[in-house]
Amino acid sequence: MAKEKISVVVPCYNEEESLPLFYEEVCRVAKEMKYVEFEFLFINDGSKDSTLSILRDFSKKDKRVRYISFSRNFGKEAGMYAGLSNATGDYVCIMDADMQDPPEMLIKMYELIEKENYDCVALYSSRHDDYSLLRKFFTSCWYKLIGAISSVPQQPGARDYRLMKRRMVDAIVDMGEYNRYTKGIFGFVGFNTKWIDYIPPQRVAGKSKFNFFKLFKYALEGILAFSTTPLVISAIIGLIFCLISFIVIIFIIWKTLVYGDPVSGWPSLACMIMFMGGLQLFFFGIMGMYLAKVYLEVKKRPIYISKETEKDL
C-alpha cells in the first residue's frame, strides 16, 4: 500500500536564523516517521532577510521541500491560506518556523489522528508563563468575551499548530474570505478535534513578529470576523437611550406646565449632549468597522500574490 503523505506548512517571515535549526529538526522527525511520506511547504511572507535564498537551497538539495514566495508581506493568515491551498498531502500540519511548535510532537499527533480516528489534532496552551501580566489579563478577557458573543467555539490558548485530515483542509480552503481569522475558521468548519495541552518553548532564534498593537488588531479581527453582537448591543443601547429620553421629555413638559419655565440646568444639558455625541460616534465607529470589512470583501482582492515557487528554480 502506498504511504500516506503529510504536508508540513511553515509560514516564514524573516526567519533566517531559525530556519536551518528548524529544517534539521523536522528532517530528523521525518526520518523517525518512516511510515509516512513528507512534503515541506515553506511560505516566504515577503521576508527582508535571506529567508528566500535559504529556502532555495533547501529545495535544490531536498525534493520534499517546496516553497511559495510572496511579492510582499501579506501576514501569517495569508501564509497559512497559501500553504493549505497548495499542500498536496493526505494530512496537513501547520508549524511555526521558530520551533515554538516542536516538530517532535508530530509523531504523537499522527498516532492520535490515525489510531483514534480524529479529523484533527490541535495544540493549545493553558499556561502562559512568558506573557506579561497585562497580556495575560487581556488574553483571558478576550477569550471570555468571544465565548460570550460568538457562536463559533474557540479553544482558549489555541495555537495554529495542528495536524488535519484532507477533508478538513478542503473545508478550510473553501472558505475563501479575504478577512481571514483562521483560528475562528478552524472552529467554524467543525470536525472532530482532539486538543493537547502543552507549554510552548521559547523562540529558538530571532524575535516575535507580533507586538502589542498587532495583537490588538488581531483580537479585533477575531471579533469582527466571528460575531455581529457588537452591532446588536449598540442597537439595544440606542433603544434604551430613546426610552430614557422619552421619559425625560414627558417629565420636562409636566414640570414646565406645573412650575413654569425657569432657565436653568444648562451644565447638565451640555454634559448630556457631549455624552450622547460620544456614544453616537462610538456606535458609528463599530458600524464603520463592519462596513470596512464588507468593503474589503466585495473587492475580491487576492489573499496573497506569489512571486516565485520551487518550480522557478
**Per-residue x/- mask for ligand UDP, residues 4 to 33, rule CB under 6 A?**
-------xxx-x------------------
Q: Which is nearer to ligand UDP, 16 or 39 (CB)?
A: 16
Q: Which regions of 57-148 does DSSP assign to beta strands (E)?
A: 65-70, 91-94, 120-124
Q: Which is nearer to ligand UDP, 211 or 268 (CB)?
A: 211
Q: Residue 210: name its binding partner from Mg ion, ligand UDP, none (Cβ under 5 to 8 Å by kind).
A: ligand UDP
**Per-residue x/- mask for ligand UDP, residues 90 to 119, rule CB under 6 A?**
------xxx-x-------------------
Q: Nearest distance from residue 235's CB to ligand UDP, in Å?
A: 35
Strands 193-197 and 306-309: unpaired
Which one among 65, 75, 165, 186 touches ligand UDP, defined by CB under 6 A? Answer: 75
Q: Contact 11/96 with Cβ under 8 angstroms?
A: yes
Three-class secondary structure of residue 134 per DSSP: helix
Which one among 47, 59, 100, 150 touches Mg ion, defined by CB under 5 A? Answer: 100
- Distance, CA of 3 to CA of 30 (rounded, Å): 13
| Burial of residue 65, with CB atoms counted within 10 A of its CB: 0-12 exposed, 13-18 middle, 19 or more buried | buried
Residue of 279, 277, 186 whose CA lies nearest to 226? 186
Which one among 4, 27, 73, 309 touches ligand UDP, defined by CB under 6 A? Answer: 73
The answer to the question of residue 209 lying near ligand UDP (CB under 6 A) is: yes
Q: Which is nearer to ligand UDP, 182 or 234 (CB)?
A: 182
Q: Contact 229/149 with Cβ under 8 angstroms?
A: yes
Q: Contact 120/164 with Cβ under 8 angstroms?
A: yes
The answer to the question of residue 216 lying near ligand UDP (CB under 6 A) is: no
Question: Cβ of 104: how many Cβ atoms within 10 Å?
Answer: 13
Pick the stretch among 60-68, 102-110, 181-189, 204-212 that binds ligand UDP (CB under 6 A): 204-212
Residue of 27, 199, 226 whose CA lies nearest to 129? 199
Q: Residue 12: name its binding partner from ligand UDP, Mg ion, none (Cβ under 5 to 8 Å by kind).
A: ligand UDP
CA distances 12 to 4, 49, 107, Å, are: 26, 11, 22
| Residues at the interface with Mg ion (CB under 5 A) | 96, 98, 100
| Residues at the interface with ligand UDP (CB under 6 A) | 11-13, 15, 45, 73, 75-76, 79, 96-98, 100, 208-210
